[in-house]
Amino acid sequence: MSDTGELARRHIVLGLSGGVACYKAADLARELVKAGATVQVVMTEAACRFITPVTMQALSGRPVFTNQWDAREGNNMAHINLTREADAVVVAPASADFIAQLAQGRADELLSLLCLARPAQAVPLLVAPAMNREMWAHPATQRNVAQIRADGAFVLGPAAGDQACGEIGDGRMLEADELRDELIAHFQPKVLAGRTLLVTAGPTFEALDPVRGITNLSSGKMGFAIARAAAEAGASVTLVAGPVHQPTPRGVRRIDVSSAEQMLAAVLPEAKVHEVFVATAAVADWRPAEVAAQKMKKDASRDGAGRVPAIAFVENPDILATVARLPAAERPFCVGFAAESHDIVRHAREKLARKGVPLIVANDGPATFGRDDNTLVLVDAQGERALPPGDKLTLARALVAEIAARAPRRPA
């Protein structure tokens, strides 16, 4: 069992039922091992028709179990022994037939038997459906899915898209990296369960003409990490993103904007219905007073003396300060970010007073823009405290824990 990775020291039973999506289970086993987990594969007879136990053994590094009568277990009770040290059972793919077995409490072979015999309070069951769209939509399948949810199983997906049968629709198993991330999220403390969080991320783009504009080097990675960490912690998350190339974290609602004015227009109505607002975006302080209707040509931009005309600027709205001035009944707990280039703590403290917010998170902008790691300093009325340097997702999880401890619940 690895001591490194987001699934370090986790032991996962990975079950495969019959379906062409078994090929994704091979990638999933590899991803889980790379994330630090030990993986014990259990396959149904039908699964062995789609992928061999030899393949899964090679990827997991452990012998694969396929039969409840497997004599390798000293007491011949593989269905008991395999889950007693497990941190979770993940069934991917879970066919319509296998979900029906779970719903009905049937134990026809080893995988369904160990799901039934696992210590349910200690070993969660995560199920990734994979089937034809008509099978997924059938009332019997929907009843069975509702039943296993009621019995405590966590259903991951399915996704929509092209299917092996040639049809298109719901029923595709999630991809290996998505399932890995769902499992990682499952183990995160649910410190924001039942709460709502709004976060802004990335730069803004202030147009000069139809093809040029003013922006900055923010990649959005920190804001997207905070959105993911908050969703992992159980929050309902809305992410307002400037122009960035980042995938939307699973379970997060995303609103794309470009300019500071567009970001304010998106944020204000959302802030009134969210408990927490984290202003991570690097919003432009100024924008051009006028936007040229056509591209400004270099040859036409010089006057008779060869000088480039000056561009007049106007100040952009202060999104964080605007939200912080909302009436108390509509005002979320506000967290600001300060990306500075020098005197980081001093500037962050000045921003804390100027914006009128309870917490500013300061960092060195030039040293972190576009990078996967960061160093954060929490600045509030009582003082400042640096979080240990780390990757942005680790820091985001630490910040989410801080927010959960600090933010009061909005009265119902």
- Select from 247, 251, 248 the least CA-distant residue to 231: 251
Count Cβ atoms within 10 A of the Cβ of residue 82 and give its class: 0-12 exposed, 13-18 middle, 19 or more buried. buried
Distance CA 240, CA 226 (A): 12
Distance CA 332, CA 326 (A): 9
- HEC string for 206-272: EECCCCCEECCCCCCHHHHHHHHHHHHCCCEEEEEECCCCCCCCCCCEEEECCCHHHHHHHHHHHHC
Residue 22 falls in the annotated catalytic set: no
Report which secondary-structure segment, H or E, holds 176. helix 176-186
158 preceded by a cis bond (ω within 30 of 0): yes
Distance CA 310, CA 291 (A): 13
Name the catalytic one among 48, 115, 165, 334: 165
Tokens for 110? 């080893």
Return the half-sphere exposure (C-beta side, CA atoms, 13 A cut-off) of residue 362: 21
**Residues paired with 395 in a beta bridge:** none
The backbone torsions φ and ψ at residue 191, rounded to the nearest 5 degrees and listed phi first, read: -75, -15
Report which secondary-structure segment, H or E, holds 374. strand 373-374
Annotated catalytic residues are 165
